[in-house]
Amino acid sequence: MSFLVDDKKLIDSAMSTELFSESSDYKLIVEAMRYSALGGKRLRGILTLEFAKMFGCNFDESMPYAIAVECIQAYSLIHDDLPCMDDDDMRRGKPSCHIAFGEANALLAGDALLTHAFNVISKSESAKKHPERAIKAIKTLSGYAGFCGMVGGQVLDLEAAEKEVDGKTLWLIHKLKTVALIKSAVLMGCYAAGTDENFCGFAEKYAENFGFAFQIIDDILDFDGNYDTCELNSYVKVHGLEKAREDAAVYIKNAEISLSELSDNGFDTLNFKELLDFLTDRMN
């Protein structure tokens, strides 16, 4: 899937340019932001670019939306790693932001990335050209990132780490913490292109099913074969390994159905089908 490599390079370059200040007054905070934001697979940003492209929008116009999503993702990881949250000292093979810059600076770097996400969209040429699309995007991204989305999911996830949860609660955690931002990434691409609402709906259903499958397969890959040591909020712990595989396959199939609705309307969905095939290969 060469588009993953190519898109990642474009996003990395754009983020490096965006997260820069010539003033020495902001040197420390910008350095901390760059430390955490300039890395990762860029899956969410790639989804933004690729959906925008499928619906006829070039990368120059959709890139601010992709950067915004990636800023939100980076902020969430900084905060997840903090001692008061998941308390992880390492992230992507290097010390977490709070280890490298101190807890207070890491907290502020996350705050800065969160707020900058919306600045990137609002100041962009895309927003000047199509302000109604930018407003729609900001509304969606802020909603999915907030207490009704990713933040709310993190709260439930913290509670679930200390007790056994049922399937309904786990589904809600995944919907809010993981699926919400993936849905927002896809919708950012749709909005950047000014996509028809019906087609946005098919894209959103793809994103939702992709997101659930993505999270379940992550839990499957993290499972070491011992249910006693498995995290309490793991899909495998709650449902068992066999059902986890079955459910992931159902979500992937449902995502394929959404793609077929788009392809039947003349859109090229090959890249998104390849992403689903990649998930299947990971699980198997």
pLDDT at 160: 84
In terms of Cβ atoms closer than 10 Å to its own Cβ (0-12, 13-18, 19+), residue 20 is exposed
Torsion over CA: 110, 232, 237, 246 (sign): negative
Q: Which CATH topology does 1-177 take?
A: Farnesyl Diphosphate Synthase (1.10.600)
Residue 8 has pLDDT above 90, yes or no: yes
Mean residue pLDDT of the chain comes to: 96
Give the model confidence (pLDDT) of 221-279 as tens digits. 999 999 988 888 899 999 999 999 999 999 999 999 999 999 999 999 999 999 999 99
C-beta atoms surrounding 246 within 10 Å: 12
Residues in the chain: 284
pLDDT band at 104 (very low <50, low <70, confident <90, very high): very high
For residue 256, give Cα distances in angstroms to 24, 53, 194, 252, 273: 50, 19, 23, 6, 7
- The answer to whether the pTM exceeds 0.85 is yes
Give CA–CA dist 78/88, Å, rounded: 10
pLDDT (tens digit per residue) in 189-228: 999 999 999 999 999 999 999 999 999 999 999 999 999 8
| pLDDT score, position 255 | 98
**pLDDT, tens digit, 9 for 90 and up, residues 23-64:** 888 999 999 999 999 989 999 999 999 999 999 999 999 999
What three-state secondary structure class fits 91? strand
pLDDT score for 38: 95
pLDDT value at position 163?
A: 85
Secondary element (H or E) of residue 198: helix 197-222
* pLDDT tens sequence across 137-183: 999 999 999 999 999 999 999 988 888 899 999 999 999 999 999 99
The strand ranges marked E within 8-101 are 90-91, 94-95
Tell me the two tokens of residue 183. Answer: 């849905």
Angle (CA) 201-204-208 rounded to 5° is 140
Residues 6+ apart with CB under 8 A from 268: 54
Q: If you average pLDDT over residues 123-144, what whole number do you get?
A: 98
Q: 276-280 long-range contacts, Cβ below 8 Å, gap at least 24? A: 276/210, 276/213, 276/252, 278/1, 279/210, 279/213, 279/214, 279/217, 279/248, 279/252, 280/249, 280/252
